[in-house]
Amino acid sequence: MNKDKILKQFNNNHLLSLNNLIDILPEIEKSVIYRNLKRLERDNIIKEVFTNSKETFYELSSLDDHQHLICESCGHVETIQKKIKIKNFSEVTNLTGICSDCS
């Protein structure tokens, strides 16, 4: 089943975009992948992670809260797992900067 193939990719990769999935699963049509992403999101299995790049990335909803670092130069996305305790903190999902490969 296509939905299972797509979901399996999220177990292998932390963040995936529609284009990533099209590259990984060329046997599944783009529209089918898109519809399944929306269905998985609606069922709260995955969630959208908005980035500053031209793509929207998705990740499993079951993951602990964390932030993402988006490279302003190449668009690479890295996960930041460090917990910070701050009172009256507005959650920031994405941080921007320059990755080690581009610096």
Is 102 among the domain residues? no
CATH code of 54's domain: 1.10.10.10
pLDDT mean by block of 10 residues, the chain; 103 residues: 93 87 97 96 89 79 75 78 58 72 88
Name the DSSP class of 52. Answer: S
Per-residue confidence (pLDDT) for residue 85, from 0 to 100: 61
Do residue 41 and residue 73 come from a single domain? no
Number of domains in the chain: 2
Tell me how crowded residue 16 is: count the other CB atoms within 10 A of its CB. Answer: 23
> DSSP secondary-structure letter at 53?
S
Same domain, 81 and 40: no
**pLDDT at site 87:** 55
Cα separations in angstroms, 70 against 22, 56, 99: 21, 12, 8
Whether residue 32 is found in the same domain as residue 49 = yes
Residues 19 and 43 in one domain: yes
How many Å apart are CA 44 and CA 40, to the nearest integer? Answer: 6
The whole domain housing 21 covers 2-60
- Do 40 and 87 lie in one domain? The reply is no
